[in-house]
Amino acid sequence: MLNQRKCFHLSIFKLKNISHIKNLKWNEINFSDKNYLFTCTNFEREKPNVKNLVTYENKNAKSFYKYSNNSNLHTNTQKIENNHKNVLSKKMENTNENINMNKRYISDEPNKGGNLRNAENEKNNELDRYNMENMKDGIKSKNGNCDDIIDLTLSDVWSKKTLIVEYKNNIFEILLNRKEKLNAINKDMITGLLNMVKSLSNDDRCNLIVIRSINQNCFCSGSDVKDIVQNKEQGINHLKQLYKYINFISKINKNVLCIWNGYAMGGGLGISMYTKYRIINRNVIFAMPENKIGFFPDVGSCYFLKKYFPRNIALHIGLTSLRLNEMDLTNFKVCTNYIENVGQFLNELYNIKKEDPDKFNEELIKILNKYPPNVNINTKPVLTEELISNIDKYYSSANTLEELINNLKKDEDNNNFCKQLLSDINANCYFSCQLWFSYFIYNYDKSMEEVLDNDFKMTQYFLYHTNTFEKGVTEVLIKKNKNFQWSKDHENNPVQLEETIEDILMNKNLLSIKDEFI
């Protein structure tokens, strides 16, 4: 079998002439578990540390320049200039020229198609062909000169159009762009988000990152769980990227602001709950509905629900998939600001026009102070005083789901809350509810990193050691079976979890990601 090596090229910079390569500092970027070269805005002479063979193709000269592990960038660049001087056009010496890296297969042995052949017809392309000439105007650097490195033109490659990036006056907007799917997060979207925020964290042009939806009626409905259960290996990698993003965004050294409108659920809360500023618009629906589809509330929800809600209310939200509104989010200080006109608010941000980070932050705080978390419409909270009182009464003495159910059954005939809660539990996957109750208590004193690592392990458990997640997604979301009901065998035959939460998480076959957190 031929020993083939995949080489990818991303159009990521413009050069005035080929000798300009000598002055660039080369780094590596991890993309789909492979390493690629990219350039930084600081121009220092430094030898590259290239892990993979990378091929550069000049579109005009049709020449290929190879660099391997032990190559010296300066020496090889000089050889390129000498060897290809006769083919480099005069125009190349005087004007900017795109250096494109096209996806190729390089074989170590001869084959029928030659050592180098185009991979456009390969079925499993990891990257779409990417052409700088068809891009919108590049994002300019601080001095407005597009001749400098245009690193965020990679956004289309990273996210495959599931995200739109806009830049103006030191503000980068990342818009979720899967309107027809209610912005459900797929592998391309989370890969794009993770790579973008990593890039922006070191970008001196960036004083503020705004994450919002292109859809005015929905921020994000959660992760695209259909893709996760239909391709489990890819699904695990998707969720791994999501948890790594959550950890990174919680520690980023930039101002990050998200704007919630409509649905903000499941994975949608994962990508936004850990931002510095959480701004809500009208008609927000906040929920963790995973128990309905045989999964469990993940994305670090054990951590952020505990942070903003008392123990009993947090348990109830995860157990019942309770939908909260903007009044609840302001009452419990989940959001930092409330706005009614998104366009007006964004215009105020863009008018700051301060490049200096400290001066920018001063103006940003002034604007945010104009929008306190006070809802100006006549909306009643879901978490009323009566509901909170009942939650505390029946949850306080319960440390397992079975204990809660026993408490509820005692007053089922006399209290509508008890009757409704028993009905809600029966409507959800009982195994998921049972596990969530114990899992939340287990994680109650854990750090965010520990919770995310436990979430990753529990995700593997649900995908490979139970069938509830796959069954729930198939029946509820794929087949859209309106008559589907979860088994109610537990009503007559109470069951216990076969394994404790600690036993599940200590399983050596479940992978950990804690070493990959920053």
Q: What does the block give as tokens for 236?
A: 């695990």
Res 108 pLDDT > 80: no
Which of 241, 259, 260 shows the shortest CA–CA distance to 198? 241
> In the chain, helix, strand, coil percent, each to 5?
40, 15, 45
- At residue 379, the pLDDT reads 85
Res 323 pLDDT > 70: yes
Which of 276, 333, 273, 327 shows the shortest CA–CA distance to 304? 273
How far apart (Å, rounded) are the C-alpha atoms in residues 75 and 463? 51
Q: What is the mean pLDDT of residues 280-309?
A: 96
Res 60 pLDDT > 70: no
Residue type, 185: I
- Is the Cα dihedral 108, 114, 119, 122 positive or negative? negative
The model's confidence at residue 376, banded by pLDDT at 50, 70 and 90, is confident
- At residue 502, the pLDDT reads 94
Find out whether 26 and 37 touch, Cβ atoms under 8 Å: yes
φ, ψ (nearest 5 deg) of residue 230: -80, -25
The fold of 152-516 is 2-enoyl-CoA Hydratase; Chain A, domain 1 (3.90.226)
* 97-100 and 54-58 strand pairing: antiparallel
**Mean pLDDT value across the chain:** 76
pTM (two decimals):
0.72
pLDDT tens profile 196-242? 999 999 999 999 999 999 988 899 999 999 999 999 999 999 999 99
Find out whether 262 and 215 touch, Cβ atoms under 8 Å: yes
pLDDT tens profile 467-499? 999 999 999 999 999 999 998 765 555 556 778
Q: What does the block give as tokens for 8?
A: 């990818």
- At residue 47, the pLDDT reads 37
Residue type, 53: L
Q: Edge-to-edge strands of the sheet including 116-118?
A: 4-7, 104-107, 116-118
Residue 234: alpha-carbon gap to chain centroid = 15
How far apart (Å, rounded) are the C-alpha atoms in residues 305 and 308? 5
- Residue ranges per domain, the chain? 152-516
